[in-house]
Every structure is written in structure tokens, then in C-alpha cells.
Amino acid sequence: MNTDLFAAHESNVRRYGRSFPTVFTKALGATIWDEGGKNYIDFLVGSGALNYGHNNPSILTPGIEYLASGNILLSLDMYTAAKRDFIEVFVESILKPRGLSYKIQFPGPTGTNANEAALALARKYTGRSSVMAFSNAFHGMSLGSLAVSGSASTKDLGGVPRHDVIRMPYDSYPNEAFNSASYIDCVLGDPGSGIEMPAAIILETIQAEGGMNSASAAWLAEIQRICRKYGIVFIVDDIQAGAGRTGDFFSFEFAKIEPDIVCLSKSLSGSGNPLAIVLIRPDMDIWNPGEHSGTFRGNNLAFVTAGAMCKMWSNKQFVASVERTAINLQEHLDRLVTKFSSLIEQKRGRGLMAGLKCRSHAVVGRVHDVAFENGLLIESSGPNRDVIKVLPPITITDDELNRGIAILNQALQEQANGNCPSIPSPSDLASCNQ
């Protein structure tokens, strides 16, 4: 496959193209084809932006009809029929059945736009300037989102100082023994702690880019209680974990919490088209008209496909099949963890948002390369890139899931047979041909 043109003309900043050096042409469901006709199972799904698979006909067909019939495509934030239909179905199929009540803000189309709007609103609402964020958080690439992100690799990006962020340990950081929720409660209640009262606490229920670390229901409930106690706005960044990824529509449903603000993007359009929303507790919606505005806030094609996606959640069969797929995936991963305990330290994540924490990042790199060679797209995450990120479409067929897992199994097997892990355990040394 000729990738020379990209190397010659596309900026050095390109990333995924380097990771998967071929040229893709077509895709359907969990399968993606390159120019040479080779097919791959997609466990990356646009980094969580294609939870419903590629070209899902239930989602795309209404979009194609919409496109072909002279409808409005871009509308700023004017009222359109497509937007009204989306709001209606989002309220009826997603919010109401979950007992949730939110106003909907349409920010710019990307995830980081939603987080910026959420942080700005929280600061306006409370009149405070600091926000609290967590170790290994990832919230996007604009300055406000970068400021609350934890990763050292992006900390200095942009070349301006990041003020007004209080960094706290996430659940089980640095280890299970430390309870960061009670620590936060303590420092906020202690006038001598030196920690100022934040406008907001922003978190992901599962830190995808941070290494698939998942927060427990108890910890999340504690954080919500602390927010209520001190009048702090509780923001859940559900950009990657939401829109069905964990098996529920929102990633926080299992914890029975009700955040003040929820940010959604990535898979929200269901089709890979950019769309983001900010869900705001109604009494916090203190924006003045036009106070937060911008151009691409009326992507009507995305409204149409997002509406079709939301409707799927009213279908009991669909929900049951997502649940079953999540259980299947977890069982597959449990077997891999047991079989390759010399390579894999632990399974991470929840539902269909899973990760395999490996003992070395070199193993992850080789598994990625072998898997790609054999027809599986899979990525790594975590500050040391030692976590295999397993994100199949939540609509994946059993056959595609089995094939993807078989390729992953084969790639791990090659590492277990042929190569000594860089930090060998005693059993590795016994089995390693040195």
C-alpha cells in the first residue's frame, strides 16, 4: 500500500496512520478493508467514536435519506426540524427512562468543546476559578481541557501555563489502600489544608486514555456527596465511556449517581460524524443568550443519525444483545488473562470498555504489530502505553468478536512462546527459551 503521499505532505503530527500503515477504503460493522482488499476486525473504532460499528444501516439509512432530500445541513443554532426530532428522541428514549432531567447545550462539535463549555459554566455558576481534576485524566486538546488532563506528555503543550487546577488522586491511585475520596473531603473541610474550594470536580468514570482505570460505584457516589456538601459542580466527562460503551447508555448508571453536568461526544452521532452536547442540571443553566456561541453547533446530519442511535435504546432486544456481548467479551478477556498471566497483569475497565494491563509496554507494542499483520486493529493506552485497549463495536457479531479475540490470542501466544518479557516472572524464566 502506498503511503508515501502522507509522509511527503501530511504533518509530522499524524499518529494513527503511523500505527496502522495502510490505506483504508471501506468498512461495515466491525470490519474494515484496506486498498489491497485485506480485512481487519476493528477493536479501535475511531477511538470510541464508532460504538455502533461502521455504516450501521439502522443509523445511516435515515441519514442518507436526509442528505438526498434537500434538507438543512448546517444551521448554526437556529431551530430545525432535525434538531427538534433529535431533542425529542433524546429526552424520550434516553433521559426519561433513566429518570434524568437536563437542559441540552450544543457546543462546538468535538469533545473538548463540550468540556470547555462545562468548565466555563461551572466557573460562572460558582464564581470560583479553580477546578479539581484527577491523575491520569484525559479531557481533550484545547487549553482548558489540557489543564485538567493529567498526562505529562501533554502538560506543556501550547506553551502557556495551566492555572487553576487542583490535581487529586483518582480512585485506587496510587494503590487500593488509599481512599482519595475521604482525602478530598478532608482537605476541602480543613481551612488549613491550603487547597482552595473548586468550582467543579471533573472526572471520567473510566479513564480510557489514562489506562482504562475504572472508578468504583462507591467512590463515584462519595465524590457526588462531596460535591453536594461543598456546592461544587460535579462534571462527568462521558465523551468516551458514554453513548453505550460500557453497555449502559451513560457510563455512570451503575453507580446510581446524577452528575450536575454530563459531556457527550465521540459516539453520540452514531455514525462517526462530529457532534457534542453538554447536559446541564436545569437550575444551573444560567447562560445568557448567545454568551457561549460558535459556528458548527447545528450539524443536522449528525442530529438525524444521533436520533436513530438513541431510538435503538428503546428496543429491548438491542439492549439485551449489548448486555450479552459485554458478558462474552469479559469472559474472553478473563480467559486471556488466565492463559497469559506471564504477560498480562490484570483486566481493566467495564462492560465493552475493556483493557489488558500488561507487564511491559514492549509486549503491548509487539502484540499491536502482530495483530495488525494478522488483521486486527487494536491500540494501547496508559501513561506508559502498557495497556491494550479493547473497544469492539457494542454491536459486534459473535463471529467478528471471536475472530478478533482469536487474533489477539495468537499475538499474545507469540510473545509468550518466543520472546522474554522485559520483566520476567519466575514462570516466564522457566518457559522462556534462553
CA distances from 156 to 136, 143, 153, 159 (A): 15, 10, 7, 6
Q: Report if residue 269 touches ligand PLP, rule: CB under 6 A.
A: no
Piece of the chain touching ligand PLP by CB under 6 A; list 99-107, 110-118, 174-182, 188-196: 110-118
Q: Between residues 31 and 115, which has the closer beta carbon with respect to ligand PLP?
A: 115
Site string for ligand PLP, 118-157 (x = CB under 6 A): --------------------xxx-----------------
Q: Which three cell numbers stand for residue 305?
A: 443519525
Amino acid identity at 199: A
In angstroms, rounded to a whole number, what is the distance separating the alpha carbons of residues 286 and 53? 37
Q: What is the DSSP string of 229-271?
A: HHT-EEEEE-TTTTTTTTSSSSTTGGGT---SEEEE-GGGGSS
Q: Which residues contact 46 (CB under 8 A, 6 or more apart)?
A: 266, 272
Q: Between residues 268 and 343, which has the closer beta carbon with respect to ligand PLP?
A: 268
Q: Which residues contact 204 (CB under 8 A, 6 or more apart)?
A: 137, 138, 139, 210, 236, 237, 238, 239, 240, 241, 251
Q: Report if residue 110 touches ligand PLP, rule: CB under 6 A.
A: yes
Piece of the chain touching ligand PLP by CB under 6 A; list 29-37, 111-119, 387-395, 416-424: 111-119
The number of CA neighbours under 13 Å toward the Cβ of 256 is 1
Q: How far is the CB of 265 from ligand PLP (least distance, A)?
A: 5
Q: Report if residue 31 touches ligand PLP, rule: CB under 6 A.
A: no
Closest-CA residue to 77 (of 305, 291, 307, 270): 291
Q: How far is the CB of 238 from ligand PLP (least distance, A)?
A: 8
Handedness of CA 240, 243, 247, 253 (dihedral sign): positive
Q: How far is the CB of 233 from ligand PLP (least distance, A)?
A: 17
Q: How far is the CB of 334 from ligand PLP (least distance, A)?
A: 25
Amino acid identity at 350: R
Q: Which three cell numbers stand for residue 195?
A: 487547597
Q: How far is the CB of 321 from ligand PLP (least distance, A)?
A: 25
In angstroms, rounded to a whole number, what is the distance separating the alpha carbons of residues 87 and 91? 6
Q: Report if residue 380 touches ligand PLP, rule: CB under 6 A.
A: no
Instruction: Determine how many CB atoms are found less than 10 A away from the CB of residue 10.
Output: 11
In angstroms, rounded to a whole number, what is the distance separating the alpha carbons of residues 334 and 260? 35
Q: Report if residue 111 touches ligand PLP, rule: CB under 6 A.
A: yes
| Binding residue (CB under 6 A) for ligand PLP from 116, 204, 248, 379 | 204
| Binding residue (CB under 6 A) for ligand PLP from 215, 239, 353, 391 | 239
Q: How far is the CB of 110 from ligand PLP (least distance, A)?
A: 3
Piece of the chain touching ligand PLP by CB under 6 A; list 83-91, 122-130, 150-158, 203-211: 203-211
Q: Between residues 209 and 260, which has the closer beta carbon with respect to ligand PLP?
A: 209
Q: Which three cell numbers stand for residue 71?
A: 434538507
Piece of the chain touching ligand PLP by CB under 6 A; list 82-90, 92-100, 235-243, 253-261: 235-243
CA distances from 379 to 47, 48, 263, 285 (A): 8, 11, 24, 38
Q: Report if residue 102 touches ligand PLP, rule: CB under 6 A.
A: no
Q: Report if residue 379 touches ligand PLP, rule: CB under 6 A.
A: no
In angstroms, rounded to a whole number, what is the distance separating the alpha carbons of residues 241 and 247? 10
Within 297-391, strands assigned E span: 344-350, 353-358, 376-377, 379-381, 387-390
Q: Which residues contact 189 (CB under 8 A, 6 or more apart)?
A: 230
Q: Report if residue 265 touches ligand PLP, rule: CB under 6 A.
A: yes
Q: Report if residue 237 touches ligand PLP, rule: CB under 6 A.
A: yes
Q: Report if residue 272 touches ligand PLP, rule: CB under 6 A.
A: no
Q: How far is the CB of 348 from ligand PLP (least distance, A)?
A: 15
Q: How far is the CB of 73 from ligand PLP (least distance, A)?
A: 20
Q: Report if residue 205 touches ligand PLP, rule: CB under 6 A.
A: no
Q: How far is the CB of 109 from ligand PLP (least distance, A)?
A: 8
Q: How far is the CB of 13 from ligand PLP (least distance, A)?
A: 14
Residues that bind ligand PLP (CB under 6 A): 110-112, 115, 138-140, 204, 208-209, 237, 239-240, 265-266
